[in-house]
Amino acid sequence: MATVLDLGLIGIFDQVFSWILIFTILFAILQKKGFISANVGINGAIASVVAFLVILSKGAVAVINMIIPWLTVAIIFGILLLLLFHVFGLKEEALPELVKDKGVYWTILGALIVIILAAFGQVFGQSFTEAALQGGQAVDQTGESTGTATGSFQTNLYAILFNPKVLGVIVIFVIAVFAVFLLTS
């Protein structure tokens, strides 16, 4: 049954949207920085060819389609956060200083890296797991599967991330980062 919110037909345009996104970003970078040429035609041709090469890879299109919604949510969250700060008294003149702040810069960069790694894990994780185990799974002498060597990437990821030793290392790392930050500032 078709509904108003049925977005199944939009899936046909995944490659078109990915091509437009890659072309736009690459063309803007080439025009702004002028790495290769200042000529609009040359930069457009290069961006077009690279965008076509990217959409030939189904994995790259899948990663882009995983990243786009999360980046959209992050951008909307950032805009709403700026509006909230503006309501509470942030002046327009202070905005450039806020953007140049290293804490804000590293927070945005960290969020971007997490989104990209999550997309790569979601798209390629299971295939890498199957390739590593070659369809099987590690079992102990009783026939039970052991640790993180199961056939499911998601199960392996959760087993690794929520292992008490890994959680302990993460807590120690966070404490060390805050100690270094507070001691150096």
pLDDT band at 172 (very low <50, low <70, confident <90, very high): very high
Is 124 in the same domain as 70?
yes
Query: How far apart are alpha carbons 175 and 167 in whole angstroms?
Result: 12
Query: How far apart are alpha carbons 56 and 101 in whole angstroms?
Result: 39
Name 145's bridge partners: 139
Is 109 in the same domain as 72?
yes
- Domain ranges, residue 94: 63-136
Domain assignment of residue 2, yes or no: no
The percentage of the chain sitting over the pLDDT mark of 70, rounded to a whole number, equals 83
Domain assignment of residue 117, yes or no: yes
Are the C-beta atoms of residues 123 and 62 closer than 8 Å to each other? yes
Q: Inform me whether the pLDDT recorded for 59 exceeds 60.
A: yes
Is 22 in the same domain as 49?
yes
Q: What is the pLDDT of residue 91?
A: 81
Is 75 in the same domain as 46?
no
Q: What is the pLDDT of residue 5?
A: 58
Query: How far apart are alpha carbons 155 and 163 in whole angstroms?
Result: 12
Domain assignment of residue 4, yes or no: no
Domain assignment of residue 8, yes or no: no
Give the tokens for residue 69: 């919604």
Note the pLDDT tens digit of each residue in 126-150: 777 777 666 555 555 555 555 566 6
Query: How far apart are alpha carbons 154 and 50 in whole angstroms?
Result: 32
When divided into structural domains, the chain yields a total of 3
DSSP SS3 for 145: strand
Domain assignment of residue 142, yes or no: no
Is 74 in the same domain as 110?
yes
Domain assignment of residue 7, yes or no: no
Is 48 in the same domain as 70?
no
| Averaged pLDDT of the chain | 81
Is 33 in the same domain as 68?
no
Q: What is the pLDDT of residue 17?
A: 86
Is 130 in the same domain as 99?
yes
